[in-house]
Amino acid sequence: MKKENIPNILTIIRFILIPFIFMSVITDHFLTALIIFTISAITDILDGYIARKYNYITDIGKLIDPLADKLTQISLLLALTILNILPWWILAIVFLKECVMIISASILYKKKDVVVYSKWYGKLATTLFYLAIVCSLLINQFNLKLPFAVDLYLYYLAILATIFSLIMYGIKFRFKKN
């Protein structure tokens, strides 16, 4: 194995973990899902760190890393929606936003001089979603009775950040096209 492939192998591990996370949530094994999700998050951090520190950044890595992030996020949101922990419209907004982002990124990727990078507002939205998901998993694992739905309010903040990031990426996309 070449050292340069380590980040991509870590990303592939994240793809492999997705069905295990999904099935753990669907079968009400929330703590198991949280543990596997944490392993996935650690591999995400490691692959980015290794790729940047040792300049192991590859074209395939630029494509599959964000795809692994989005598939993990959407599969978790789908599982929580199926269990009626999450309102369906939140999943719908995230799914539509990601479809728009994939189409836009594909158009920009075809231009030789354009590289698509995530920005702070996209990372903020993802972080808020992951925080909300972790809260949902913990609340349901331990059957916590809270005075208000902490996770739901975090999802609302994540949706606002998602809409903001879509607008900001749209503005950047508009200026890149001209």
pLDDT digits (tens, 9 = 90+) for 121-162: 988 998 999 999 999 999 999 999 988 899 999 999 999 999
3-class DSSP assignment, residue 114? coil
Q: Using pLDDT thresholds of 50, 70 and 90, give the confidence band for residue 3.
A: confident
Is the dihedral angle over the CA atoms 10, 12, 13, 18 positive or is it negative? Answer: positive
Task: Report, at the CATH architecture level, how domain 3-177 is classified.
Answer: Up-down Bundle (1.20)
pLDDT value at position 36? 98
- pTM, whole model, 2 decimals? 0.90
Percent over 70 (pLDDT), the chain: 93
Q: Is 139 helix (H, G, I), strand (E, B) or coil?
A: helix
What is the helix (H) or strand (E) element at residue 146, kind and residue range?
Answer: none
